[in-house]
Structure 1
Amino acid sequence: MFDSLILLCPELEARLIRKLLQEWNPSLHFSHCIHKRALSKLSGRTLAKARIISFEFPDIVPETLLATTGYGAFNLHPGSPAYPGWAPALFAAEDRAPVFGATLHGMTAQVDAGPILGTELKRTQAPYEQHAFEKLAYGAAWALLQRFAPDLAALPNIPVARWQQWQGPRRTRRQAEALKRPQLVG
């Protein structure tokens, strides 16, 4: 029986998410991890009755943990489906993306490839800077969390939006670092 949520996020966000989700299911038990090392302390018994929600978590969740989580693992990706992978705001700013936001999706072994539950997208405007896109994504992620809070807190099985798909190339940390590096002009 679904009775626990494991929050993978910074401390402030954990408090706010816990408060939001308890409104929809006051009987939920919560665990909180801020880094990958803490994940190894979760017992199989806890995972079997739990759902994972990741929000601004810096690490990749191991496939073995995803496989043993009884009620799914979901990530609030700080980017639209056109920008899967690392540093979506950086690449969206570089592309001057006309639309950007956040994506709520099921977590799978492959990063940012799981089924999409929903998106929150907004039109962008100049200046096309990474920080502006990050701010937009953060607000969009909270809007998604509020919209899906009843399902995340109470439903054992959450339906996915089969019509929404990941679209762009999956970007890596190495690609982001290369983009940030100043280019030498000969």
Structure 2
Amino acid sequence: MNNNGTGRAALADSAAADLDPARLRDVFGTFATGVVAVTAFDDGRPTGLAANSFTSVSLDPPLVSFCAALTSSTWPRIRGARRLAVNVLAANQREVCERFAAKGGDKAAGLDWFSSPGGAPLVAGSLTWLECSVEHEYPAGDHLVVIARVRQAGGPFAGSPLLFFRSQYGRWAPAPG
């Protein structure tokens, strides 16, 4: 193998082709994540999707990112909105997460909403919210990486975040000691 790394890249590509998707999901699942509901109005009705791929990207300019599955039927209905909201879900909002993670249907039916200053639907009871506009989308495997510019923010409000770890929901608690 030479020192320019080409041997390592070829070996990595060969090993990646042999990865079992179920095993890889288990490995990825060992990284605990928070959960957000990405929401917007579609024809005057709130809609949304759940994501655990949310992260801050930049403070200047204020940018965040999340991923939407290529198979999502909701993302195409959100992407064209003038404003969308990223709602950081609280530990007691597991049902909200499961509704937004489900395929099809009126995911927002019966949920308490209020509007952000720019008109995006906000999920009542969330720990915090960010009102955003879509800046960029990048295809990445079976998902789109969405970069969104933060326009306004609310909170943080009291509570503990909803966490996702090893395909289960939980809540954060400080480590002893």
Return the TM-score normalized by structure 1: 0.26
Larger Rg: 2
More RCO (CA 8 Å, sep 6+): 2
